Structure 1
Amino acid sequence: MGSGASAPTAGADAVPLPALAELSAEDKARVLDAANEAIAEAVATIQKEKKWKAASDELKPKLSAKKHAGEKTLLWISDGILSWPVAASAAKDGVLQMWYAAKEQHELWDDIVAAMKAAEVPEGSFTHVGWMFHGSEMTGEYKEQNLKFLAALKPYLAEGARVDILACEMVAGPTGLKIFKELEKESGINLAASTDLTGNSAAGGNWILETDGVDVKEQYFTDAINEFSETLLGFAMHRKAVRTAQRRRGGPCHF
């Protein structure tokens, strides 16, 4: 009597077993090598994620307990950045570090006010604010939300202050540049943003915000930021970029 359960079927992208059986010994070895490489990469990624989660869980309460001590510079970091603890820990003396939950990326106006009050930040305190998150070219989809965030932040800015947007390719194209200029004009705040990858140089990133020629590494970080393992385009996209860059150089991939 047959079983009522149907036999498992291969996924749409699965290689039929007969096709594998027909491969030469050399090609089978290539398939095995590729599978082992993929498994090793997946294991390394999981281990890296666990490492950064532990570092994140340890750092968050310490930063949340900080009080303003006269700092003129703020680094406002999304915890959606896998290795954000590196960036926070690499901040220069005189830089107040704060973190926020990535899931609230487009609802930050209440968060920034709550964070300022918790840290007892007086109005008019900051001459420079670094807003650090994973991102790509502005589309205008969240323009109103971003304006609300900037309006909530503005009372805590000194006259002539600048807000540096530490994310990738914010103004890489004409749409992004248009939205950027609108945000700057409508908020009344001097903004700076990047035309290319921001972050890890191994993936082609840098720490320059091209709209204003700002070196954010010099502004916010010590050389410890060199250990930052990503670009701010996102970890998955960073891995792809690293593969491309390092294969061109003929070297191994490191994440």
Structure 2
Amino acid sequence: MRLVIAECSVDYVGRLKAHLPRATRLLMVKNDGSVLIHSDGGSYKPLNWMSPPATMHVADREELARSTTFDLEDDPDIQELWRVQAAKSDDYLLIRVYGVVGELSHDLGVDPGLIKDGVEADLQRLLAEQIEVLGSGYRLVRREYPTAIGPVDILARDSQGAAIAVELKRVGDIDGVEQLTRYLELLNRDPLLSPVKGIFAAQKIKPQARVLAEDRGIRCVSLDYDAMRGVDDVDSRLF
């Protein structure tokens, strides 16, 4: 992991274009090849990023001076130019570094992964065993399906064979929807899976999370934990 606090500007070029004007930001370079650009606000979500696999080339002023495609006179303050190229598309990030405030590098080693609380772990196991709770004809592909940014709780196929990514929460809030959105963005880059749909499943889903999920085309499913465990007689309920 390499952390660089630098004055920089950022351009994302590819299927979409985005520009971050010159300002001081945190540049995070991970060993998996991903690069994330953070500000001092906006919670955990980066302002822009490149998902792995990706390659990065750093050109200093000496290299830029020799370049036939870059004119230092157009950008005289630049110290380095980072180009982060996606491996599976023509998308790339251009990061112009004008000055470094501080820098830290440290190998974090292999992470053991997130250990879910008892209820979430049980929900995942039960839903995997009772996958048709999501719909008739659904079948399980895998629990904890790996991605470059963490495992998806459940990957399934619907009755038409379409891939479905399921994010499970005890209480579903906006952060959970954002998490599933990032998984879907990454999974839909895989031609063997795309198009991938999303299901946000929880015992309780907050209204704001439901609105956000449905606005993004993500289906919400409320799970009855007791009924799935077989400790609640649904047929004997009065209401």
Same fold (TM over 0.5): no
Taking structure 2 as the reference length, the TM-score comes to: 0.32
Taking structure 1 as the reference length, the TM-score comes to: 0.30
Which fold has the larger relative contact order, with Cα–Cα distance below 8 Å and residues 6 or more apart in sequence? 1
Determine which structure has the larger helix proportion and give its number.
1
